[in-house]
Structure formats: structure tokens, C-alpha cells
Amino acid sequence: MSLRPLIFRTIRWSAWNGCETGLEHVDVRPSDGGHTISGLVIGEENGSRFGLHYRLKVDSLWHTKAVHLQTTSGQMLDLESNGQGSWSENGKARPDLQGCIDVDIQATPLTNTLPIRRLEWASGQTTDIRLCYIAVPDLTASAQDQRYTAIEPGSLYRFESIASGFTADLPVDADGFVRDYPELFRRLN
């Protein structure tokens, strides 16, 4: 099942237990043969508060092409991808990320949308994905294997971290954006 073509969207989430522990604002806008996604997250991880601005560039098929992250403390990470699994950081090859197509930023449910929009889904279909996982707030990038299952294509997907066994059923809207991420994030709009 394909999702509808995407025009400009603004999305907001809070932490599951309320805005006082986390809030996110995201703009998704069409740009040169794809979309530019800009987000601002304020949150808390292991008792440490952080602020994070991120910008993603995806092509028309939702392959990740560029990732820029900067914390309010000044830490930065810039990654580029050819969209086929080769990555570089500040122009230097990152062979440890070879084979990663999508990116998963720990502090946001937005990045779950990338494989959901990128892939064609049939009911019950399961797909294993290697992606670039970015830990927040330290902005370390590593390859991670994840699994997505289309429980109800276009409305409900199961996410699973293969390494940890963590799973979550993610309801999405008509554009493939997560509505609620149980125990982690709640959609505000």
C-alpha cells in the first residue's frame, strides 16, 4: 500500500509523560526532488537535559541523503549518504555505516516515518532494515538492525530493535507519521 503524496506538514510531539520532560516541533517541506525535514527537540535522557536541532534531506523515494544535527551545547554531526548505503561524515567515508539506508535519531519518532514511507507494504509484511542509529545527546552514529511489520498498511506498524528485542506498535496518520509511540511520545496535533 502506498501513502499519499506529501505536501508541507508541521507536526508536534511531547514526551509520553508530558511536555515538561520533552517536546518536539517538526516541519516537513518539499524541496529539490525530495523533502527537507527540520526538527527541534527539547528533552531529557538519563537525567540529562538536552536541546537538539536536526535537518534531514530525503530524495523523492524517501532515501536519506543528508543528516545534520546540533545540540544546544554545540556538539554537531554531519552525515551524507548516496541513498544506497554508503555514508560519509564531513567528507570522510564511514564504512561502519555501510548498508544503512535510513537514519534513526533516538530522540524523535519522526525517523520511524522514513522506512514506512520508503517501502511498499502488504498486510503482514515484515522487512528487516539496517540503518544509521544516532544516540542523543552524544550524537554517536552506529549501524543497527531493525524490523518493521505492516500490521495494517497505512495505519499501524510494529517496530522491533533486533539487538535489544524492544518492540512497539506504532499507529500512523495518512502520511505515515507516528501518532503515538507508546511509553515514549504523544502526538500533539
Please name which of 114, 148, 111 lies closest in space to residue 129, comparing C-alpha atoms.
Answer: 148
CA distance 15 to 1: 30
Looking only at the bridges linking them, the beta strands covering 126-134 and 76-81 are: unpaired
On whether residue 1 sits in a domain, the answer given is no
Kind of pairing between the strands at 34-45 and 22-31:
antiparallel
Domain range enclosing 157: 9-187
Domain assignment of residue 174, yes or no: yes
Q: Residue 1: what pLDDT?
A: 57
Residue 3 maps to a domain: no
Distance CA 177, CA 34 (A): 16
Q: What is the pLDDT of residues 23-75, one digit of tens each?
A: 999 999 999 899 999 999 999 888 889 999 999 999 999 999 999 999 999 99
The verdict on residue 120 lying in a domain is yes
Number of domains in the chain: 1
pTM: 0.93
| Phi, psi for residue 159 in degrees, rounded to 5 | -105, 140
Assigned domain for 179 exists:
yes
